Amino acid sequence: MEQIDGRALILACSAIGAGLAMIAGIGPGIGQGYAAGKGAEAVGRQPEAQGDIVRTMLLGAAVAETTGIYGLIIAIILLFANPLISQYLRLLGQ
Protein backbone atom coordinates (compact mmCIF):
# COMPACT_ATOMS: atom_id res chain seq x y z
CA MET A 1 0.00 0.00 0.00
CA GLU A 2 3.02 2.28 0.35
CA GLN A 3 3.38 2.33 -3.45
CA ILE A 4 0.00 4.00 -4.01
CA ASP A 5 -0.07 7.73 -3.38
CA GLY A 6 -3.16 9.54 -2.14
CA ARG A 7 -3.99 11.15 -5.48
CA ALA A 8 -4.06 7.81 -7.30
CA LEU A 9 -6.23 6.30 -4.57
CA ILE A 10 -8.70 9.20 -4.78
CA LEU A 11 -8.88 8.88 -8.57
CA ALA A 12 -9.44 5.12 -8.37
CA CYS A 13 -12.16 5.48 -5.75
CA SER A 14 -13.76 8.28 -7.78
CA ALA A 15 -13.88 6.02 -10.85
CA ILE A 16 -15.54 3.28 -8.80
CA GLY A 17 -17.99 5.81 -7.36
CA ALA A 18 -18.82 7.09 -10.84
CA GLY A 19 -19.54 3.54 -11.97
CA LEU A 20 -21.79 2.98 -8.98
CA ALA A 21 -23.58 6.26 -9.65
CA MET A 22 -24.35 5.08 -13.18
CA ILE A 23 -26.17 2.08 -11.75
CA ALA A 24 -28.85 4.63 -10.86
CA GLY A 25 -29.85 4.54 -14.54
CA ILE A 26 -31.18 1.00 -14.24
CA GLY A 27 -34.17 1.92 -12.08
CA PRO A 28 -35.60 4.62 -14.35
CA GLY A 29 -35.16 2.35 -17.37
CA ILE A 30 -37.15 -0.43 -15.77
CA GLY A 31 -39.77 1.97 -14.42
CA GLN A 32 -40.29 3.76 -17.70
CA GLY A 33 -40.60 0.50 -19.59
CA TYR A 34 -43.19 -0.72 -17.12
CA ALA A 35 -45.10 2.59 -17.32
CA ALA A 36 -45.07 2.57 -21.13
CA GLY A 37 -46.39 -0.99 -21.16
CA LYS A 38 -49.17 -0.16 -18.75
CA GLY A 39 -49.96 3.01 -20.72
CA ALA A 40 -50.29 1.04 -23.95
CA GLU A 41 -52.48 -1.46 -22.12
CA ALA A 42 -54.70 1.34 -20.79
CA VAL A 43 -55.05 2.93 -24.24
CA GLY A 44 -56.00 -0.48 -25.61
CA ARG A 45 -58.77 -0.74 -23.04
CA GLN A 46 -59.99 2.88 -23.31
CA PRO A 47 -58.91 4.48 -26.59
CA GLU A 48 -61.04 7.58 -25.94
CA ALA A 49 -58.87 8.45 -22.89
CA GLN A 50 -55.62 8.33 -24.87
CA GLY A 51 -54.77 12.00 -24.35
CA ASP A 52 -55.07 11.82 -20.56
CA ILE A 53 -53.21 8.52 -20.36
CA VAL A 54 -50.30 9.68 -22.52
CA ARG A 55 -50.03 12.99 -20.64
CA THR A 56 -49.90 11.23 -17.27
CA MET A 57 -47.44 8.64 -18.55
CA LEU A 58 -45.08 11.30 -19.94
CA LEU A 59 -45.18 13.27 -16.69
CA GLY A 60 -44.33 10.12 -14.74
CA ALA A 61 -41.51 9.28 -17.14
CA ALA A 62 -40.05 12.76 -16.76
CA VAL A 63 -40.10 12.49 -12.97
CA ALA A 64 -38.57 8.99 -13.07
CA GLU A 65 -35.80 10.11 -15.41
CA THR A 66 -34.50 12.68 -12.91
CA THR A 67 -32.93 9.88 -10.85
CA GLY A 68 -30.86 8.72 -13.81
CA ILE A 69 -29.87 12.29 -14.66
CA TYR A 70 -28.74 12.93 -11.08
CA GLY A 71 -26.60 9.78 -11.21
CA LEU A 72 -25.06 10.92 -14.50
CA ILE A 73 -24.26 14.35 -13.07
CA ILE A 74 -22.59 12.82 -10.01
CA ALA A 75 -20.53 10.51 -12.25
CA ILE A 76 -19.40 13.42 -14.45
CA ILE A 77 -18.43 15.48 -11.41
CA LEU A 78 -16.43 12.60 -9.95
CA LEU A 79 -14.60 11.95 -13.21
CA PHE A 80 -13.94 15.43 -14.58
CA ALA A 81 -14.35 18.05 -11.84
CA ASN A 82 -13.24 15.99 -8.88
CA PRO A 83 -13.49 18.15 -5.74
CA LEU A 84 -11.71 15.49 -3.68
CA ILE A 85 -8.37 16.11 -5.42
CA SER A 86 -8.37 19.79 -4.49
CA GLN A 87 -9.22 18.89 -0.88
CA TYR A 88 -6.37 16.38 -0.81
CA LEU A 89 -3.90 18.91 -2.21
CA ARG A 90 -5.09 21.48 0.31
CA LEU A 91 -4.45 19.01 3.15
CA LEU A 92 -0.93 18.41 1.85
CA GLY A 93 -0.30 22.15 1.76
CA GLN A 94 0.36 22.35 -1.98
pLDDT, one tens digit per residue, over 48-86 is 999 999 999 889 888 888 888 999 999 999 899 888 888
Count of the separate structural domains present in the chain: 1
Cα 70 to Cα 27, 44, 90: the distances in Å are: 12, 34, 28
For residue 72, tell me if it sits in a domain.
yes
Residue 43 forms part of a structural domain? yes
Inside any domain, residue 3: no
How would residue 94 be classed by pLDDT, with cut points 50, 70 and 90? low
Range of the domain at 51: 26-89
| 47 assigned to some structural domain | yes
The CATH number given to whatever domain includes residue 44 is: 1.20.20.10
Residue 38 covered by a domain: yes
pTM above 0.75, yes or no: no
69 in a domain, yes or no? yes
Q: Name the residue with higher pLDDT: 2 or 59.
A: 59
Q: Does residue 1 lie within any of the structural domains?
A: no
pLDDT in the model for residue 60: 87
Please name which of 24, 7, 10, 26 lies closest in space to residue 74, comparing C-alpha atoms.
Answer: 24
Q: Is residue 14 part of a domain?
A: no
H-only helix segments in the chain? 6-22, 26-45, 50-80, 83-92
